[in-house]
Amino acid sequence: MAFSFKKILGSINLGVGGKAQSVIGVDIGSSSVKIVQLRLAHGAALLETYGEIALGPYGKQPIGKAVKLAPEVVSQAVTDLIREANVTARESGISIPFSASLITVLNLPKVDNEQLKQIVPIEARKYIPVPVSEVTLDWFVIPHDEAVGGQFDDPNEKDATKKSGQDVLLVAIHNAVTKSYQALTAACNIKAQFYEIEIFSGIRSSVGSGLAPILFVDIGASTTKIYIVERGVVRLTHLATAGGQHMTETLARAMQWEFEKAERVKRERGLLEASSYAADENARIKEALFYTLSRIFSEINRVLLSYGQRYNKNIAHIVLSGGGASLPGLAEAAKAALSAETKIADPFSKTEAPAFMGTVLHQIGPGFAVSVGLALRALRRE
């Protein structure tokens, strides 16, 4: 099978290399498709073009709505975006949704690689609800760090046998999912160098190097994904059923607006006050958006507390990404509500672009974290 993770965790490396050929990163989300084209120039990732196309209208729904479309319709949307964004490259990296994958950490006996190849599929059966033959598996042995006393030491763990083993990151994707994406790339006339679960792409573009654990949040249209990343390894994953679409729907109900108007107001002014609205209207808009945001913040703080209690470690900082993280005023609200230093993802900072585009790229950046991360990996020809 052409599909291969090619050691996913190794792909989190933040550098670039390879040839000066243009490449693209394609992020197919639930409400939109995003694409970024990069080229290596003088050791830097040069931004050549980028674009986003909403999927809602392809399903006769408003912009901003999460939709489930037939594969041929998604292919048409990607083809339209390639044309509208003037994309010229065909070598690409494609994102796989977190919802279509399994990521977990196994604690296994210390054995050599050949024995591990036999053990991992057997252990994987405990976590995968379908036959192992129906999924593509990849795994990575988490390096033991003597300086900190182990891979991810749990001070509450009393089982000495478990602590003397080794931690292995297991990733699985159903073969049917990979086949559907292979069909999509063929229909769009692009060549996929690799397929990668979205979290790893987002980390690559938005998280700096460092050993301290960080909390990475991806606020999508229908869900919010929360991850703990420690020493470059995804240690914990959590899914919250709240996202940008829920903000828009709550705002539309509160203000008695159509979804389209609520989506436009959310994107343009967000939590910031606007002179075009009366004081009470500004307050109602902010309150409506906070209704969903408070749920997301609560989930984040719960993950922070749980992680701290179990591992006796503090999160260095929080990174907010995804389209929902572009909400105007979010940075200030997050800093006040969350129990750790908070930053908004700025993936385009890892690329070179004309100075006049700086403000726009900074504003839209969080939503392009995955597509930028995919293109950065494609540049390195892993």
Could you tell me the residue ranges of all domains in the chain? 8-244+291-380
Q: How does strand 224-230 pair with strand 342-344?
A: unpaired
Task: Compute the distance between CA of residue 291 and CA of residue 286 in angstroms, rounded to an integer.
Answer: 9
Structure-block tokens of residue 151: 């891979």
Q: What is the pLDDT along the chain (382 residues), one digit of tens a residue?
A: 223 334 333 343 434 444 558 999 999 999 999 999 999 988 899 999 999 999 999 999 999 999 999 999 999 999 999 999 999 999 999 999 988 888 888 889 998 888 888 999 898 888 888 888 888 888 888 876 544 444 444 444 444 434 568 888 888 898 899 899 999 999 999 999 999 999 999 999 998 776 789 999 999 999 999 999 887 788 888 999 999 999 999 999 999 999 999 999 999 999 999 988 999 999 999 999 999 999 999 999 999 999 988 888 889 999 999 999 999 999 999 999 998 999 999 999 999 999 999 999 999 999 999 999 999 999 986 4
User: Under DSSP, is residue 337 helix (H, G, I), strand (E, B) or coil?
Assistant: helix
Contacts of 72 (CB under 8 A, 6+ apart): 187
The CATH-assigned architecture of domain 8-244+291-380 is 2-Layer Sandwich (3.30)
The secondary structure of residue 352, as a DSSP letter, is B
Task: Compute the distance between CA of residue 382 and CA of residue 375 in angstroms, rounded to an integer.
Answer: 12
Rounded (10°) CA dihedral 302, 306, 312, 315 = -40
Phi, psi (deg, nearest 5) at residue 222: -110, -20
Nearest to 238 by CA among 178, 191, 302: 302
Rounded (10°) CA dihedral 5, 11, 17, 20 = 40
Phi, psi (deg, nearest 5) at residue 104: -150, 160
Residue 155 has a pLDDT of 44
Task: Compute the distance between CA of residue 89 and CA of residue 380 in angstroms, rounded to an integer.
Answer: 15
Burial letters 7-20, b for 16+ CB under 10 A, else e: ebbebbebebeeee
pTM of structure:
0.87
